[in-house]
Amino acid sequence: MSAAPHSAGVPADACAPGTPLYGEILGFLYREAALLDNNEYGAWIELCAEDIHYVMPVRTTQVRARGPGFEQVSFFDENIHSLRTRVARLETGSAWAETPPSRTRHFLTNVLVQAGERPDEFAVAANFLVTRTRAEQAYQMFAGRREDLLRRVAPSEYRIARRRILVDQTVITSTNLSVLF
Amino acid sequence: MANERISGKASQPGMRLASGEDLEQIVRPAEGLISRRIFADPEVYERELEQIFGRAWFFIGHESEIPERGDIVARQCGVDPVIMVRDQAGVVRAFLNSCRHRGMRLCRADRDHATALRCPYHGWTYSTSGELLAASSEHHYGPGELDKAQLGLIPVARLGSYRGLVFGSWDPAAPSLEEWLGDMRWYLDIIFGRTGEIEFVGVPQIWDVECSWKFATDNFTDNFHVYWTHQSLVELGMLPSDPDFASHGHMVTLDNGHILHFVQGPPMEAFQGLGLPKSLWPRFAEHLSPAQARIAQAHGYSAGTMWPNFHWLQLVTAGDTKSEPVGILNLRLEVPLSPTRTRMYSWFAIDKAAPADYRKTSYETYVRCFGPSGIFDQDDMENWEECTAAARGPAAKRYALHHKMGLARPTDATWAGPGIAYADSYGEMTQRAWYAEWLRRMRQPAHAPTAVQRPRVTAAS
């Protein structure tokens, strides 16, 4: 996310922590996370915009001078059709990686909101911790930063137009990535 | 002597397990009986480290991953960490990723670019071709104490490359790469040479799975799991609804444990020519023999294993329910971390001659279908973990797994390629060939320790 807010949108102080707009966006993020944790994927996919780009780049360890190590190759590189296919698959009852389903918690903190390039769009960054356990397994954990572009479609109603999932791990220490972020 | 390999073990490990059994009593490939014990047992795993991971040939990386002089990637050869580097003369080399002084890890990034490698511990510095250029405080060493010519980086004992695939072995007495690959080269030419050159795109996806490495290797030559394991995709209409759909093809077993399949897809143009765009099909005749070109043209899917743990998957699938099927070339490697934990590597590769739109669609479809998030792969890893978990107990270890499908299957002499071929892609002939090589390797007498006088720097190309 760029450091300077775009002047075309809402003034920076209108989306600072404590403002009504900030609270509205936080409420949206919490409702969205609850849908994922409750396995309500059918309702979750309705929050994705038709033009969504949902991506989780592979990360590598690099020396400091070469930057944070986010690569061109990704773990997820999704559009609305592939996300709908993922959701439809989970609902077949024969997607064994999630049948029986994982139990997840999506924790979001350090939320920062900036105005987007359009007046109805907001760049929203957050730290995430996603915990997952299946059957009798120990917890698997994913931590990182999420960079979203949220589009306001009605008062208190948003759609996810872009989600970049910047995971901290270079080696995913999890059976698979059958959960969504 | 500076380069002596140190071994505290007897040179002959013996053929028997601590229980008194010989492995050939519990692993009987000719009968299709493979003991569950070999999938979770620490004693078997320790022997695998010496007999297989210390001696066989292993995939390290592809030359296209280090295109420039000074490019480095950190990988492993077998289970030992190595760096693969293109040196200042352009030669691909591989060394143990460990300083000769205290053994500190030398390259601590996953990939890097450097003209020299300096150890962070005491500053010992090596050239990209492995020579020790400088140690620290050299004037404090007395005469003969620091023989720099003998203290180059420890090279992978044998290094070779075929079609850009770089392999290494820690056994100085291993057969040459060409001998070890043998007739597999004929098939590698089809997969990696059909339109000219193949390039690996970017870095691999890497993830750790709580499973025996052998359940993953077993799966990559198993076609009849596709209908049931990936049942969700059958239900979504992304796979055919006929349970025998992936059986229409050939499987082949070769010397040294190499195994492969070529399978016809549904009768659609998208499933011909290995799923490649039609514009590339004329290249088959330019780059392959007539027999090889006919095989490339007539098949959609192919899976092959370069024994023991490196695989190609040539597939045709859509990435979602709205899209058309497209060809994908996926390369896979399993590196064991313990008897029951395995590090998975997955690369995307593509024909250099591929048009830009195909390149983009093929890549996106790969990410959506394969690797840890893949709508195919997710369910495979679930199987491998659960099979491993159920193999741990003393009761389970008394029982064999069932690998008997096709014990009496006749061979097909009409197959145009080398090897023993079967005109069916459902059967456990390739798995049995894999386990037969495993058993042969595990029961081989150990070599006496070899003292290497000078690091043998072997060029890959």
What mean pLDDT do residues B304-333 have?
97
pTM metric for this prediction: 0.94
Backbone phi and psi for residue A144, each to the nearest 5 degrees, phi listed first = 175, -160
A168 touches chain B (CB under 8 A): no
B175-193 residue pLDDT tens: 999 999 999 999 999 999 9
If you search the block for the tokens 């989306």, which residue do you land on?
A15
Contact present, B189 and B327 (Cβ < 8 Å):
no
| pLDDT score for B6 | 45
Q: How far apart are CA B160 and CA B86, in angstroms?
A: 13
- Which of B76, B117, B232 would you mutate first to test chain A, the one with the most A CBs within 10 A? B232
| Arithmetic mean of pLDDT, A94-106 | 96
CATH 3.30.420.10 fits A12-167, yes or no: no
Question: Is A171–B343 a contact, with Cβ atoms under 8 angstroms apart?
Answer: yes
Q: Do A81 and B322 touch (CB under 8 A)?
A: yes
Contacts of B350 in chain A (CB under 8 A): none
Orientation angle between helical segments B356-369 and A80-90, nearest 10 degrees? 30
Interchain CB distance below 8 Å, A175 and B201: no
- Neighbouring residues of B234: CB distance < 8 A, sequence distance ≥ 6: B227, B240, B241
The whole-angstrom separation of Cα B267 and Cα B175 is 42
Question: Which residues in A136-165 are b (16+ Cβ under 10 Å) and which e?
Answer: eeeebebebebbbbbbbeeeeebbbbbbbb
What pLDDT was estimated at residue B452? 40
Residue B385 reports pLDDT greater than 50: yes
pLDDT per residue over A103-158, tens digit each? Answer: 999 999 999 999 999 999 999 999 999 999 998 989 999 999 999 999 999 999 99
pLDDT-derived band of residue B16, with 50, 70 and 90 as boundaries?
confident
Any idea which residue has 């010992």 for tokens? B124
Range of lowest pLDDT (A3-7, A143-147, A169-173, B65-69): A3-7
CB-CB contact of B121 with B102 (8 Å): yes
Tell me how many residue pairs between chain A and chain B have CB atoms under 8 A apart. Answer: 131
A79 contacts in chain B (CB < 8 Å): 320
Model confidence at A160: pLDDT above 90: yes
- Tell which of A90, A177, A179, A180 to mutate to test the B interface (max B CBs under 10 Å): A177
Contact call for B208 and A77, based on CB within 8 A:
no
Q: Helix, strand or coil for residue A7?
A: coil
pLDDT bin (cut points 50, 70, 90) of residue B267 is confident
- pLDDT grade for A3, boundaries at 50, 70 and 90: very low
- The verdict on A156 touching B (C-beta cutoff 8 Å) is no
Structure tokens at B73: 């990637």
Kindly list the distances between the CA atom of residue A18 and the CA atoms of A12, A108, A111, A156, B335, in Å, as whole numbers in the listed order: 12, 16, 11, 16, 50
Sheet of B165-169, strands arranged across:
B57-62, B165-169, B158-162
Residue B10's pLDDT is: 40
Give the pLDDT confidence score for residue A8 in this predicted structure. Answer: 61
Delineate the domains of chain B, giving CATH numbers in brackets: 58-170 (2.102.10.10), 180-443 (3.90.380.10)
Q: Is the pLDDT of residue A21 over 90?
A: yes
Nearest CA in chain B to A90: B232
Asked if B236's CB is within 8 angstroms of A96's CB, the reply is no
Give the contacts of A138 (CB within 8 A, at least 6 positions apart): none
pLDDT at B455: 44
Per-residue pLDDT, averaged over B79-103, amounts to 98
Instruction: Give strand pairing partners of A172.
Output: B207
pLDDT at residue B1, as a whole number = 37
Assess whether pLDDT exceeds 50 at residue A176: yes
Tokens of A129: 């911790």
| Torsion angle of C-alpha atoms B419, B36, B403, B383, degrees rounded to 10 | -90
Nearest to B320 among A82, A94, A175 (CB): A82
Give chain B's contact residues with A (Cβ, < 8 Å). 108-112, 201-210, 229, 231-233, 235-236, 238, 319-323, 343, 348, 363-364, 367-368, 371-373, 375, 377-379, 381-383, 385
Q: Looking at the predicted structure, is the pLDDT value of residue B411 above 90?
A: yes
d(CA A73, nearest CA chain B) in Å: 6
Position B265 scores a pLDDT of 84
Residue B447: the pLDDT is: 63
Residue A21 · residue A15 · CB < 8 Å? yes
CA–chain centroid gap for B151, Å, is 30
The pair of structure tokens assigned to B193 is 């040479």
Is there a contact between B207 and A172 if contact means CB atoms under 8 Å apart?
Answer: yes
For chain B, the average pLDDT equals 93
**A75 closest CB neighbour out of B229, B235, B372:** B372
> pLDDT at position B251, please?
98
User: Does the pLDDT value for residue B37 go beyond 50?
Assistant: yes
- Return d(Cα A145, Cα A158) in angstroms, integer: 20
Quick: pLDDT tens for B145-164: 999 999 999 999 999 999 99
In degrees and rounded to multiples of 5, residue A178 shows phi and psi of -90, 0
Q: Which residues of B touch A92 (CB under 8 A)?
A: 231-232, 235-236
The structural domains of chain A, with segments of one domain joined by +, span 12-167
Q: What is the DSSP string of B386-420?
A: HHHHTT-STTGGGSEEE--TTTTPPP-TT-SSSSE
pLDDT at B457: 47
Q: Which residues of B are less than 8 Å from A86 in CB distance?
A: 375
Q: Is the CB of A91 inside 8 Å of chain B's CB atoms?
A: no
Q: Which structure tokens are listed for B112? A: 């890097």
Q: Is A87 on the interface with B (CB under 8 A)?
A: no
Mean pLDDT of B40-69: 97
Question: Is residue B160 exposed (0-12), middle (13-18) or buried (19+ Cβ within 10 Å)?
Answer: buried
- Range B205-228 average pLDDT: 97
Its ipTM equals 0.94
The torsion angle over the Cα atoms of residues B185, A73, B264 and B217, rounded to 10 degrees, is: 60
